[in-house]
Amino acid sequence: MFKGSFTALITPFKEGKVDEKVYQDLVRRQLEAGTHGLVPVGTTGESPTLSHEEHMRVTELCIEAVGGKVPVIAGTGSNSTDEAIILQRHAKEAGADAGLVVTPYYNKPTQAGLIAHYTAIADAVDLPVIIYNIPGRSVIDMSVETMAILSQHTNIAGVKDATADLVRPLRTRLICGPNFCQLSGEDATVVPFLSQGGDGCISVTSNIAPADCARLHNAWQASDMVSVNEVNDRLLPVHNALFCESSPGPVKYAAELMGLCTAELRLPLVEIAESSMKKVKDALVGAGLLG
């Protein structure tokens, strides 16, 4: 169901509030660029600092603007199982195609706890779950063996893998099977991830370069390695620059440079340093994304 370039959408703010018009403009820009799917209210969408009402509203805005043209995987994770169920239920009611459920941060559950957490969500709501495994933010790492157990549940459809472990997609494919969807959470490793059995990428860079990111995946599926390598080489400095500070600070600054939205963030995130601004601007110019 989920293949290609999925954009982890930023959430634009204006004077502290979600800028709904600009948000839907960003969604339409993605569709026009050929993006294969959208992911509202994930890490890049600053979900930790959105209220529940804002979180649900942004999900609804995305689904409304998409109009069924591409799949929407809504961020629904929480370190509270009950809260994750509430967000997953809302995503289903709003018309999302799946929920992206991050491994519980701060609590540090065991592998048995992870199984119980994801099983409870999948049992409670009849909507596909994409496991979001990101040890760098959640501290815990879901093992491939745990993922194999969870993959047997009819409502657990795949993983967003942000481990940057390029053996992981191969091991996951061999133990979970080819129908378990694997989406990279690391832009810079997308090509080797695909080569090891991945299906696509939930991308930060595609906020800025949606057409290029979609082109890379289209070329991969067409076995056009010349185009894959051209896009991959050109975008690597952009991938690196967009993570020179905690995301989404750099990508929001890039969006402001391109006239897409303001770079406004919510505390505890603050404006990126001047040295980081230079890195981002130089990368955009070098990739031909900014004049």
Give residues with Cβ within 8 angstroms of 269, minimum separation 6. Answer: 46, 49, 246, 248, 249
Tokens of 215: 């082109």
Give residues with Cβ within 8 angstroms of 266, minimum separation 6. Answer: 13, 16, 46, 49
Task: Look up 253 and say whether it is catalytic.
Answer: no
> What is the SS3 assignment for 148?
helix
Task: Look up 132 and say whether it is catalytic.
Answer: yes
Question: Cα separation of 258 and 252, whole Å?
Answer: 10
In sequence order, what E strands does 24-102 have? 37-39, 73-75, 98-102
**Shortest CA distance to 130 belongs to which of 151, 153, 99?**
99
> Which of 23, 92, 118, 132 does the annotation list as catalytic?
132
> Which of 160, 252, 253, 279 does the annotation list as catalytic?
160
Question: Cα separation of 256 and 12, whole Å?
Answer: 10
Give residues with Cβ within 8 angstroms of 116, minimum separation 6. Answer: 81, 109
Question: Cα separation of 35 and 152, whole Å?
Answer: 29
Give residues with Cβ within 8 angstroms of 168, minimum separation 6. Answer: 144, 161, 196
CB 214 within 8 A of CB 246: no
Active site residues: 132, 160
